[in-house]
């Protein structure tokens, strides 16, 4: 007896095909939805990146390194990482890399990352990639690559170092050789403020500002380019040009016979104008004298080699 194919077999076959087709459609639709959903997520952004003082992209082995960046999350920050990695086309004395993971910003929508850390003592000198990664809690991330030059202290093109950092109150030492002459002492109205600052290890062109900054102004410039002159009292400004060999630079200058060519300027506490050049500025507004702790800050930039230096002490003022 011959078997007869019935319509029910065809209907079942069509049903299987329909289910398979619908499954494919559903999977494709879900995949597309997921892709579109991922694409719609906002990624984090980063701005105002600074590597090294004055953003000079220089690190010194065993020395403090400055990093700054403004981060905005797409949703919320998960973490921020930095990696210092060697470049395949460069030659190094050994294999070396460095990584830091900052988790304290988790949950923030935006933040300013201002960090100081030492370049590890076991680092190898050379050119590196500095990779900044911002991971977002929504699953996206941002990666930015910058250049970084790492030197030993001996191989820096210039190495500004304070050999004299003195402050005088009237005719006596107030601060000398890393110590206050009288702990708890302060400057008062009409006291005469003097300072001598001398740097070794400089050549080429450079400029130095000596500043008094009221601490409540919350302004601590780490390079000349960061000085907000509406918040500082300029005690002195001096520069050098075309120094051929590495030597010393100071805001006081003497000739071969030790005769004074340029002396320390005078600033009276409570003075109406500061010693800014080329034009002294009125000490008013946000710079007006007030009682409290001041920062006396020396900040120097070697413009030939784009290397910065700064040093500061506390100066109490009682008006």
Give CA–CA dist 107/255, Å, rounded: 61
User: For 59-71, how does the pLDDT look when each residue is reduced to its tens digit (9 = 90+)?
Assistant: 999 999 999 999 9
d(CA 133, CA 84): 12
Token pair recorded at residue 285: 């507004």
pLDDT tens digits, residue range 128-184? Answer: 999 999 999 999 999 999 999 999 999 999 999 999 999 999 999 999 999 999 888
Residue 239 has pLDDT above 70, yes or no: yes
Least confident of 30-44, 52-66, 68-82, 283-297: 30-44
Asked if residues 83 and 118 have their Cβ atoms less than 8 Å apart, the reply is no
Q: pTM score > 0.85 for this model? A: no
Q: Measured between alpha carbons, how far is 17 from 3 in angstroms, rounded to an integer?
A: 24
Residues 69 and 51: their CA atoms lie apart, in Å, by 9
Question: Going by C-beta distance under 8 Å and a sequence separation of 6 or more, which residues neighbour residue 278?
Answer: none
* pLDDT digits 0-9 by tens, 253-298: 988 888 899 999 999 999 999 999 999 999 999 999 999 999 999 9
**Residue 12: per-residue pLDDT:** 53
Helix (H) or strand (E) holding 20: helix 7-40
For the chain, the C-alpha Rg in angstroms (whole number) is 31
pLDDT tens for residues 99-128? 999 999 999 999 999 999 999 999 999 999
Tell me the average pLDDT of the chain. Answer: 90
Domains and CATH numbers, the chain: 45-155 (2.60.40.1930), 161-318 (2.60.40.3880)
């Amino acid at each position: 007896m011959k078997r007869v194919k019935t319509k029910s077999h065809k209907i079942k076959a069509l049903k299987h095909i329909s289910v398979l087709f619908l499954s494919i459609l559903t999977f494709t639709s879900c995949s597309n939805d997921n892709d579109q959903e991922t694409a719609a997520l906002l990624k984090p952004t980063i701005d105002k990146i600074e590597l090294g003082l004055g953003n000079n992209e220089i690190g010194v082995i065993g020395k403090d390194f400055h990093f700054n960046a403004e981060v905005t999350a797409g949703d919320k920050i998960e973490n921020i990482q930095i990696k210092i990695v060697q470049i395949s086309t460069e030659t190094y004395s050994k294999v070396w890399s460095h990584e830091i993971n900052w988790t304290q910003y988790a949950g923030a929508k935006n933040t300013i990352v201002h960090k100081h850390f030492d370049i590890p003592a076991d680092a190898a000198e050379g050119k590196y990639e500095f990779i900044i990664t911002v991971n977002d809690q929504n699953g996206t991330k941002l990666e930015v690559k910058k250049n970084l030059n790492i030197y030993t202290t001996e191989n820096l093109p210039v190495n500004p170092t304070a050999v004299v950092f003195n402050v005088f109150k009237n005719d006596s030492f107030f601060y000398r050789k890393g110590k206050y002459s009288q702990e708890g002492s302060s400057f008062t109205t009409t006291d005469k403020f003097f300072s001598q600052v001398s740097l070794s290890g400089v050549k080429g062109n450079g400029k130095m500002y000596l500043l008094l900054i009221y601490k409540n102004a919350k302004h601590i410039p780490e390079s000349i380019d960061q000085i907000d002159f509406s918040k500082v009292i300029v005690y002195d400004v001096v520069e050098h040009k075309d120094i051929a060999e590495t030597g010393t630079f100071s805001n006081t200058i003497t000739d071969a016979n030790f005769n004074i060519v340029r002396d320390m300027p005078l600033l009276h506490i409570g003075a109406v104008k500061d010693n800014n050049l080329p034009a002294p500025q009125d000490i008013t507004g946000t710079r007006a004298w007030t009682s409290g702790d001041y920062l006396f800050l020396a900040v120097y930039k070697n413009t030939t080699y784009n290397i910065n230096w700064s040093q500061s002490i506390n100066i109490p003022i009682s008006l």
